[in-house]
């Protein structure tokens, strides 16, 4: 699982995920990319599941870049705990995704296989996504 090695603050506030992504919204490394069309949180498990499905479809014929990283801790209180007594301990890590964020990129010689692999990765994620080629503008 992806997680930061060390953080400045152990617990953070929820924050807001409104607005569009400006940084990291273009295909920079590969030929094709998977772009988020809505905002949300992606856990490290979801990011890893999408990566595994992509690499299995590609059969190690292509290069894959993960452009998002889970650096926000989400806390959770134990089950059957009464209200109060402070914030719970960190439970898992999430990546905050805004519309327009490029999440994954693939460099491949076979475009049909790359598009199919990114479609399989999008199926694993809880937000709407779109496959974008290099130079394509939304």
Q: Compute the average pLDDT of residues 64-89.
A: 95
Q: CB neighbours of 134 closer than 8 A, spacing ≥ 6?
A: 27, 30, 31, 32, 33
Q: Tell me the pLDDT of the chain averaged across its residues.
A: 93
Q: Does 138 score more than 70 pLDDT?
A: no
Is the confidence at residue 135, as pLDDT, over 70?
Answer: yes
The confidence score (pLDDT) of residue 37 equals 95
How do residues 12-45 score in pLDDT, each as one tens digit?
A: 999 987 899 988 888 999 999 999 999 999 999 9
- Which of helix, strand or coil describes residue 51? helix
CB 68 within 8 A of CB 100: no
Q: Which domains does the chain have, with CATH numbers?
A: 32-74+89-133 (3.90.1170.10)
pLDDT bucket at 129, cuts 50 / 70 / 90: very high
- The span from the CA of 26 to the CA of 14, in Å, is 27
pLDDT score for 67 = 95
């Amino acid at each position: 699982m992806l997680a930061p090695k060390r953080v400045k603050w152990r617990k953070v506030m929820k924050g807001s995920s409104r607005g569009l992504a400006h940084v990291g919204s273009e295909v920079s490394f590969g030929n094709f990319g998977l772009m988020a069309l809505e905002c949300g949180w992606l856990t490290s498990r979801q990011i890893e599941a999408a990566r595994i499905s992509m690499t299995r479809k590609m059969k190690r014929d292509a290069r894959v870049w993960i452009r998002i990283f889970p650096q926000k801790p989400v806390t959770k209180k134990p089950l059957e705990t009464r209200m109060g007594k402070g914030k719970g301990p960190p439970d898992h890590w999430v990546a905050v995704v805004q519309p327009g964020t490029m999440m994954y990129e693939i460099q491949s010689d076979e475009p049909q296989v790359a598009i199919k692999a990114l479609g399989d990765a999008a199926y694993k994620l809880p937000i709407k996504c779109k496959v974008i080629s290099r130079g394509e503008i939304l």
